Structure formats: C-alpha cells, structure tokens
Structure 1
Amino acid sequence: MKNIVVLGGGESGVGAAILAKQKGYQVFLSDIGKIANEHKKVLLHHAINWEENQHTKASILAANVVVKSPGIPDTIKLIKEIKEKGIPVISEIEFAAQHTQIPIIAITGSNGKTTTTQWIFDVLKRGGLTVEAVGNIGESFAKAVAEKTPDYFVVEVSSFQLDGIKTFRPHIAVLTNITPDHLDRYEGSFEKYTASKFRLIENQTAEDYFIYDSDNEVIKNYVINNNIQGIQIPLSLKPIKGSGTYIEAEDIIIETEKTTIHMPNTKIALQGEHNAKNAMAAATVAKLLKIRKQTIRESLENFQGVEHRLEKVLKINNVQYINDSKATNINATYYALDSMSENTIWIVGGVDKGNNYQELIGLVNEKVKAIICLGVDNEKIKSSFSNCVDTILETSSMQEAVNAAYSIAEKGNTVLLSPACASFDLFENYEDRGRQFKEAIRNL
C-alpha cells in the first residue's frame, strides 16, 4: 500500500486526504498550525490519521508522495528535505486530476477568475449539464472527485496550485489576465509568476482549447513567443481576425471555424470592461460545449455575480456601501475604483504583497475624497496618497473603519471596501473581512 502524506489541514488538504483514503492509500495529514474543528470531524469520520501544531518529520519522510497545501511555499526547509529524498511533491488539483476521467474546465488569472468560474458554472447549468464548481472557489477538487460524477468539473486554480502540477490537463483552459500579484512568493519576479500561470496549458494537446485575454500585453507576448498546443481562442474588446470572441459595435461576437454567433453586449448583467471579458469567456466555453444561444444569452443577462466582488451591500442616507473584499491586489482595486463615480470613501489596507500604488494615483485624484486605512502597517498607503486626498484616517478594526466612513460620508457618496491587500493581519481571509464589513454596516 502506498503511503501518502498531506501537508495542510484546510479545505484542499482534507479533500485530498478523503480522495486518497477512498483510493486505498495509507494516509497521514499533518498541519503545522491548528486544524479547524469542522475539518477534524471530517478526518475522524473517514478514519484518517492526522496531527496538528507540528510536522513529525519521520512520518512525513516515509511518504511515497506528498500532497502540499497551496499556502505552503516551496522554499521552506521541510519541502526541500522531502524533495532531496526524491519524494514527489504535488498539489491537490494534480492529485485530483490523476483520479478522474471527467473533462476539466480550468480557470486562472490575476483577477476575474472567481467571477468567470461562477459564470461558466451558471451558463452550463442553465444548459442542462451537471457541473461542479470547485478548487480555489470553495469545495476542494479532490473531495468532489471522491464524491461526485458530473459531466464537467469547473475548477478555479491559483498560481500556487499550478506550481505543484505534473500531468494536470484541462480540456478547456481560461486565462483571464496577468498583472503583478503574489510577487512575494516568486522572489519578486513577475516572469516567474507569469510562467506559473501558463502552467495551466503545459499539458494540453491539439484536442484542447485555450481561451485567453489577447488585450493583455503579457499574455499576448507569451502566446506569440511560445509554442501553444491547444486551439487558441482570443478574447478582445475590439474586432479580431479569425477565430475568437470580440466586441463590435453593441455585440459580443463568438467566431469559430464553423459558426458565428452575435449577442447584445449592452444587456450584460455585470457592468464594466472586466466583466465584459468574464462574460465573453463564459459564453465562449458554453459555445464550445454546444449550449443553445438563447441559454447563453439568459446567463449573460441574469448572472448575479460573486459575493465580496463589487457587491452592493446597503444604501444608508443615500450613501451606497460596496463590498469588494476580494480585491487583494492593485489591479483588482483599479477595476473597482474605475467603476466608481466621484466622491468615494475608500477603505484600503492589509498585508501588502509588493504593491505599487502609483498605478492608482490618477483614479484616486479623480474619484476618492477620503481614505480609511485598515491594516497593521499603513505607512506605504499614507505616503503614496498624502498628496491626493486631504483626509487619510487609520483604523484597527472593521467596525471602526465603517464608523469613520459613515461620519465622513455625505448624500450621494460611495463607501468602497477594496483593500488591494491580503487580509491575514486582521482577518482570517477575505471572506471574513467582507462579512465583517457587511455586519458593521448593518450595525450602523
């Protein structure tokens, strides 16, 4: 019997352990921190051996294969020792993909991947297919492979998950965009981060599809300079020659070798250029899977969007409160600020991932009337924007930040939580941060 060690007792680790147990492995799960009670119950239910608050090296180095949580960097001493012993270290999405024949639709990108994943799920479900949306989005891919047999798995994948693949091969791969993010994990190298994202398509063949944003210079240059095996379907906001999905006049046009379909762009449920791209990606996937045009149109016009992504919470005293907690990098916040009208009170801050705030200065000058910092270290934010706005306040809790925004806000203003940073200094994750924001608004 093969020994498998799972490092990390979060959603993906527990999912990998469940699948490994089902496939007859001897399983041991180890977490250097505390494992949540809900996950412990699942491990006990499946009779899986586990430890928390430590890594017992002897047990780990006895593994035939190690499945590593995406949150654990490759640079730590234990991972180096495992690799030196010749033990393969893979990610949960790789392990899951090795144990299913069901076709995979995989989505990655610096921004927009959750919205695009959910939109693809929505349109395929409306089209009568059974689909599971898994991965970075919620339930682990491995757990879904262990328990479900849909027509398609729609998998949101991060660069960290892609770092640990060997054979992972999506039948349809979607790359939403590439902008600087997580550079702290890639030794400050944008090239390494870009290469990581493109691992999405490294195992594709001529029978697979690669849908990508051809308006993104980084992606466009990579595609020109590298050998891409899958059938390429570029997305663009302007007309393109040959196969692809693009906008012309008021229409989204999806053009393949055999057919062309037109959809009205003006009726898309979510506004903004970035959402037009997300909609185009979802519509293109649906077209490849032969979903009816009418069904695609229904999805584009009625899709509700994703929690914590430009989510309108409440209007109080004619002030709109918007939760964009999922904006954990500069580019996501750029989209958010760009979609605001003027007189925005912007709540920003958290764990900086190597942010360059210069890119936001034009938008801040144009649209932001006050900045409320919400993080342990706000010096970089204050020094970047001190010349742009008169009011910059520091707060140390979400309720304090929302109360401060409430006291500054005037009729017609918008209060926007769009942190541009990770959440781990004051919150469990971006969901916790977004939920606390909504709760604080309800407490006003």
Structure 2
Amino acid sequence: MSLRTTASAATGHEPVAAVGPPGPGPAVDSAATAQFRPNAKYVLMLGLMCALPAVSTDMYLPSLPDVARDLGTSATAAQLTMTAMLIGGAVGQLVIGPLSDRFGRRKPVLIGVVLHVITSLLCAIAPAIVPLIALRTVQGFFNASATVVAMAIIRDRFVGADASRLMSRLMLVIGVAPLFAPSLGGVIAGQWGWRSVFVALAGFGVVLWVVVWRRLPETLPPERRRQGGLRTAVSGYRSLLRDRHFVALAILPGLGMAVLMSYVVASPFVLREGYGLSATEFSLLFAVNGIGLVLGAQVNASLVRRVAPIRIVRVVLPVSLGLTGVLLALALTGWGGLIALLVVLWLILALVNFVPPNASALALTRHGEIAGTAAAVIGSMQAGVAGLVSPLSGLLGGDAVAMAAVMVGASVAGLLVLALATPAYRRDGAWAV
C-alpha cells in the first residue's frame, strides 16, 4: 500500500512518500508520518555509523597472514578473529537494540563507540591469538551500537521504499571501506606492523564519536520510549519471532552477508597464496570489487523508486544463485583462469547489496513501534549468520572451490527462505510480506 504524508512547511524539507507492505500493527506509525529527504551530511553520518564494523573488518583484513605468522597460529585461527567480531556484533545488537528503544538513540551509540575505542587499543597489545579473538568479540559487541542505532533511526523517519532507498544510499558511504580500508590498512601494517591497524581503528572511533555527539539528533522522544526492563525486551523479541514473514525477511540480509563475508575472509588466502598475488595487487582487486558493491547499491537505490522492494529481491536471488554456481564450476575446472574467476566474482558482489536494504526495509516496516529491537534482530541475524557461515571456507580447505561452495550454499538457503517462508513467489503475494 502507499501512504503519503505531508511535512510541516516550517521544516524546509521536501516530504516523501512512505511505501511499505502491511504487517502486524500500523504500517506507518505517528513517528513516521513526517518524513524528510536527508541531506548529504545526514547520509554521511549514518553511513559512518553503519561502516564502523566494515572498517574494523577491512582495515585488518590484509594483516591476517601476518597475524598468523606473528602469533604462531594457523590461518583458520587467524580467520576466527574476523568471525569473533561478527558474532560479538550479533550479540551486541540484541542487547543494544532494546536499550535504544528504552533510553533513546544517542546514549547507546555514544557509550558503545567509546568502548570500541578502548577495546581497539587493547587489541593492539594482545599477546596471543586467544586474547585477540576474545577482544575482537568484545570489539564487535560495542561497535554494533553504531549499526543498530543507525538502522533504528532510519525506521524512526522512513518506511518501505524510502527506507530501502536511504539504506542503498548509505552503501555509497559504507562502500568506501572495501575501496580504501584494505589499502590503508596494508600501508599502516607495512610501515608499523599489524598492531598499528588497531590504533588507527581507535582513531576512527574517536572521529565518529565527535561526529555523532555534534550532529546526531534524538529521533525517539521520551513519550515514545518503551518502559520496563528485561521483561519488556523479551516481550518485544517474542512478538517479532512470532511474525514468520518478519523472521524470513530478517534472515535474508544475513545470508546475503554470508556470501560477501565468504569472499572477504577467504580472499587473502585464495588470491595471495592460491594465485600468488602481491599485497598491492590484492588491495587493488579488493578495491575493484568494492566498486561493484557500491554500484550495485546505487542501482538498487534508483530501481526501488519504480519497482517494489520485494520484486527486486525475488529476481536477484535466483540470479545470484546462478552466478555462484558458475563461480563454483570455474573454481573446480580452472577454465578461464584467474580472469574468468574475477569477472564472475565481481558480478556476484555487484548483486550482494540488492537484497539487504530491501529485505531490511520491508522487515522494519512491519514493526516500527519497536524499531530498535527489530533492527537488533535483523542486524544480529546478519552478523550471526555471516559469522557462522564465513569460516566454513577455511574449514573446507580455504581455496577457491571452498569459497565458491560456501557462496552457493548461502545463495540456495536465501532462495529457499524467500520461496518457502514468504508469499513472494505466489500470485498477488508481492506486497503480502
């Protein structure tokens, strides 16, 4: 359905339409009746918040082989420092989401970013792989505050296609992480060692804290905050988990992220050790693939103006499955060599950002009254599923075949969830989710 709202003339902002599927409770609550087109500074701020986990991952990524050598551990154990941050982020979002519904949006993110800075500095002096894994888990827990609050803020002000479009625009900011963070992290580690990367992450956290403190408005007024403690939070999660369509839509971003993280975690070993690329060549290829991620997100942002988000998802998922199947065949046969592998991989990554913003926006639209808790479920599933799936490539051998096989599995799971748990492929089912 389509609901149009009118902004106050005093705001000076252009009103936009709120488009979204029906769900339990009101599709658009009173807080979302005055929606505005965000300016570039607003998008940049939210993008920096969402990018904190990505920066924490991508700046550190080129150092994985060095971490394994320096700490005398295996490649699989080094990869666990990536997985640990994702799992910590999943748990952190489940805790911080309800807190943002209770205490507002500003306090949780300001406290979380400060603790991210402290944890980053502790990672820089970790004496062994086990403490580093533990600290990365804690780091993921605290920097989850920035992501879950950014998602909740989007739902506070936008719904449906407008929310999906804003999330896609954020990918332009988030996409800077894979474009520049690995190269920057490689340079920093090359000059001062991998531990200095965590000092740089602490510095990024300080900058983000200042930006949020100065620029982030409170979007959840006291009269709309949920009262109560643990029981209230549990009741919120219970209502979300009873909504089968919400759960299905919330899982889809995680499975999409699993495809991406399978590449992110395995690529240093596949490309550097399997194909003999140098650190500079790897960083360049990583940046080229990052361009694909950004372009895909921007195409989705434009496409969603004319096409319903669920219709985009139900087309993209089968196409992604076909491409991952081709990637697996290339990895098994070696046909076309590295060039063919990279071309298909680029196309897969270009499609990755079509699913999360659309599925997340549709899921959030169903439960705007507990946006922080809903965003926490989506974010935790995204981080948790990706965290559990991505290390499988290392366990399966860490080569191109293992990476592609994990991508195929995640793509199959995503298509099955959409087909079996939502009416997306049924007649007149496009808006029934």
> TM bucket by the smaller chain?
under 0.3
Report the structure, 1 or 2, having the larger strand content: 1
Give the structure with the larger helix fraction. 2
Bigger relative contact order, structure 1 or 2 (CA pairs below 8 A, ≥6 apart)? 2
Structure with larger Rg: 1
TM-score by length of 2: 0.26
